[in-house]
Structure 1
Amino acid sequence: MAIAITVLHDENGQFSGFAKVTRDITERKIIEEELRLRDRAIAASQNGIVIADVTNPEGRIIYVNPAFEKMTGYSALTAISQTFPLLPNADINHAELQKLQTAMATGKDCTVVFRNYGQDDSLFWHELNISPMYDQDGYLTHYIGIQTDITERKRAETALLISQNHLQYLVSSSPAIIYACKPEGDYDVIFISDNISSIMGYEATELISNQGFWVNHIHPEDAPQVLAQLSNVLAQGKYCLEYRFLHQDGTYRWVYNQGKVVRDETGNPLELIGYLADISDRKQLEHELRIALEKEKELNELKSRFISMTSHEFRTPLSTILSSSELLQHYGQQWTPEKQLTHLQRIQTAVNRMTEMLNDILVIGKAEVGKLEYKPIHFDLVEYCRQLVEEVQLNLKNQQVFSFTSQFPSISCYMDDKLLGYILSNLLSNACKYSPDGSSVTFTLYVHNEQAVFEIQDQGIGIPSEDLPRLFESFHRGSNVGNILGTGLGLAIVKKCIDIQQGKIDVETQIGVGTKFIVHIPLNINN
């Protein structure tokens, strides 16, 4: 309450008493207390607060709080009566300055960000928010400015931007693709680095916007295994995968995929993060290395079989030569010319046998290292085959009945006659070698789909089914050949010579009935 006491006097000026007036000032006291609290709050605020009176043309500052003094380095004594806003050293860009000037000219709120320098030339970043104040008649009387020091925030933003630029550079220049995806379902991509375009040909947006893109581009043969391993990723926490992924150009590339599960503070999975690296070159090298190792293994096996074959096959003709020559040396003068001739023929046959084996070894050796030359010429197949049959009959001197037939009296071709000779002579000699005396050997020649087809049918021992997978391997012989001489090189030479001429060979066989070889070789008559 507010009490006012007034001394009263009568008409003669004599004291006559007192008058007391009591008023309720509760509301005023509340307002005063609120004002005091507001003043204390303004004074204690961490934000710089400045009030300017704009009823005068200069718009002078009439109040600044301690935070403003600390923030700017200007004391209240220096700041008061300065023109609002107090930005003598502000480094503010044109757009922000224009926004501030427009707001003050139109009496509107405005927020600007600028760099400023204190009286000690220290640099700081401020965010200034100005608000107009109007009187009860609607006239603009004051501006209140709230200035916030955002220097630390700006430094953090700058550091973050630098860090992001560093990270972006490292990601974009990395040979690996960085990604984040959902931890389940189709593992849809949430983020992927831009270098996906240079490595896999896709834009990052394609993987992010298309549901199931990643899963749908895994090679169908690899997808079940990849998804099976990923189904356990939440339990294991990490993964390492190798699989084929479809490149934008339509080819599949081998990739190495390593990642881990990211969880929140309660352990719930949020996403999978990891990287993809193109390992196609490594896979190609591994493939070539495997082939090289397989070839080395084959060569070692070939060498072992060669040693075994030569030690066995060369021993027989050498023994024949040695025994016949010794007999001729000791008893030749006592023998008749006919008996001497018999032993000389035995020596000659043994020498021819060794010559054939050496020729086979030379041919297969050239074929194994890719040095068997292909030199095609034009010639007549029918005449060539007739002469070859005569030579085989003359050299083998077996008792089989040969039959040669041709679809046409003359067939022109463009082939390597030497390679063709290796093919047909080996097949014909085998037909004789593995057939009994008096049996038939049928040789048929015809044309089909611009290819010459050679069929050689015998009535020999046949080939066991278990030997067919290795039929064309060097030094491999059928399990039923018994004491029949052979090196196991003939059919290997046949297959190599056919492959060089881009042909093919099929076989039909039945134990005790006979074997038919069907050879297809392009005529190449257009050449």
Structure 2
Amino acid sequence: MVAGELHPDVTAGEVMERAPLTLKLGERATLLTALDLFQQYPIQSLPVVDEQGNLQGMLSLSHVFQQIDPRSLYQHLEQLQQLVTEQQRHHQLEQLVRKRTTQLHQANRALKTLSECNQVLVRATAESELLHDICQVILETGGYRLAWIGFATPETGAGAFAGEMEDLGDYFSINDATGEEADAIAIALRTGKPCVIRYDTPSTYGYGAVLSLPLKDYYASNAPAAPCFGTLNIYATPLDVFDSAEVQLLSKLAADLAYGIKALRTRTERETAQQELDRFFELSLDWLFVSDFNGYFQRINPAVSKTLGYRTEQLLEVPWLEFVHKSDRANTQAELQKLCQGQATVYFENRFCAADGSYRWMAWTAVPVMAQRAIYGVARDVTERKWAQDALLKSQQKLTLHVQQTPLAVIEWNLQGEVTEWNPAAEEIFGYSKAEVLGRCAVNFLVPKELRPTLRHLLSCLLSGKTIEEAIALEHFELEVADSTKIKVAHENLTKDGRLIICEWYNTPLVDRKGQIIGVASLALDITERKQAEQALQLANEALELRVVERTAELMQTLEQLQAEIHERQRLEVELRTSLSKEKELNELKSRFVSMVSHDFRTPLTTIQSSAELLEHYGPQWSEEKKRIHLHRMQTSVHRMTQLLEDILTIGRAEAGKLEFQPKPLDLRQFAVQLVEEMQLLSSAHTLVFRSSGQYDRAIADEKLLHHIFSNLLSNAIKYSVVGSLIEFELICPDSPQGEVVFCVRDRGIGIPPEDIPMLFTAFHRCSNANHIAGTGLGLTIVKKCVDLHGGAISLESQLGIGTVFTVTLPLEQREPLD
């Protein structure tokens, strides 16, 4: 029946949410089972089915109570109690086995972790590598979730970690720990014992327990009191981990880890110390060596090779006694025997021969180590010091010899002015023996009474280092003060026999190594005879000076006469040279004049002669035109000869200073126009052009000299220009009479070479490119003389093959004739 409908083909199990409660016939303790079902479920009746599941009837709770026998029920309850007890014992055994298995697993895990970590400790060469590998082994071999190592202070070391914590970062510092783990770390550091803390609920990262193991020197003699320098922290997920056995094994791991850290740090420190020792060994300027008892070097630093000049191999392969100086080998061998017997060498000096044949003094200290049969030593090169000592000893010996043999009195006195040194020269000069003056104040018996206060002041200034004023120099003193440490003084002194002598004293303070003044050293020289000689010399000098004055007056008179004679001779010599120079110039002028006359006069004379002969013989037959040509040639030659003679006469008057200068008012423009017309008539083959500018064209000038100037310039322009070329003559006048007038003559001729320009105005000079053109070399010389007489100036600009421009500048007014 389901929901009020009858379904005979459907079982109850197909329509119910769970299988129906039934009681099968034949089950053991059927009634007890039924009673148990009634107690568990709120039902009124219980179906009874056979083994095939067919319903046989219904059983109610009252019927069950009616069918139960109390005695059988009691027996059944006892059996049931025994069964329950056996099941409980069986369950307890299972729990014990399970617990023991877990403990064995944990112990095995810890033991395996310990074994793997010990292998890491054996292999580790660096602390950071060790810490990282230990944490990794704890995770991989032990199966823990997280392991990290932290140190109490940053100076103690840098930690490491491995495990599941994404945001761990630098979270392996003890100071950064929080929560329960901070409590575990604090307890472990404080007590020096392992500390396990289990979380009430899993942490954020799923950890159930944390174990903090202190890191300290477990193998030290006072291990319980040894300070902790860090912790090993292990995290696990289960809450029941870290039992006593596992903690004990992991504590052993922490102890081994602490020992490994200490061992690595000790080894690192030892290696660092050895490196520093090796570095000092290599860098030391002193010898550092290890020798065996047989006298062989086992190890040497570079200073040994550098000092002796041998290679290290050479020094190691033979006994080092072979390098010792022959004179020192016996003593060195004896010192080596003492070392082999266990006696240390505090200080010993000997000489070692270097590769270059020299020797070096070495001062060394050595200590034997009998267990190693080795000698450890250090040696310093003291050659320079030995040389300095020898030099100092020789210097002291020389100084002593000089003090004993010097003619100067050597006297030393202390701060109280008492004599402490008195050499033989002092005995000879003053007459006192050394025994008589030692310990006495020298001022009291060597100096006259009137000088003693001043001498005491000098002595006190020297001993105190005060400045000495030169104002203390008295009548009987000659004082020179170089500085506060050097004083030269000359004064009278008393001898033992009462004689007065004059001594020159050189005084210098004596100082110790600290610079403190401890006395005065004085050198005294008897200058009595020198002073007497100086006085005699002074008298002789005075007489000589008088004689010199008289003789000087005589010499001055003679000198004046000689100077007058010399001046007269110099004057005559100058006149003679001038005459010779003029005569030489005259000879040169004569030679040039003869040469010029022979050339320049012969040509026109020849032309005149030939034309005259032709006219004489052929005149009647020739036409008038041909006759006129020959007559014109004769006239040109005559004009040429006349011009040549005029130039010669003009240059002669100029050289003799007789060239007349007669300035008069002159119309410059009219003068220039007439000159151009005149020159144009003489040369029809060239075109002459005149230009003028300015307002004031009148001047005071010598017309004849101006004619010489510009006729020569225009004649040269025509002579040295190409036929048919243009020649320009320009006059530039000022606007007032105070100015200067400028003439320019410009041609387009052959030009003047630059090297000829400096000699251009010299008489008879011809340009190097004008030898093929007739000329005397006098024209420009005359031009220059005439321009100078006017007080003017002439200049030129010229380019070869292009032309030349001569510029003449003259003053408009002449104040007075110029010489």
TM-score computed with the length of structure 1 as normaliser: 0.48
Structure exhibiting the larger radius of gyration computed from Cα positions: 2
TM-score computed with the length of structure 2 as normaliser: 0.31
Highest relative contact order (Cα 8 Å, sep 6+), 1 or 2? 1
Higher strand share: 1
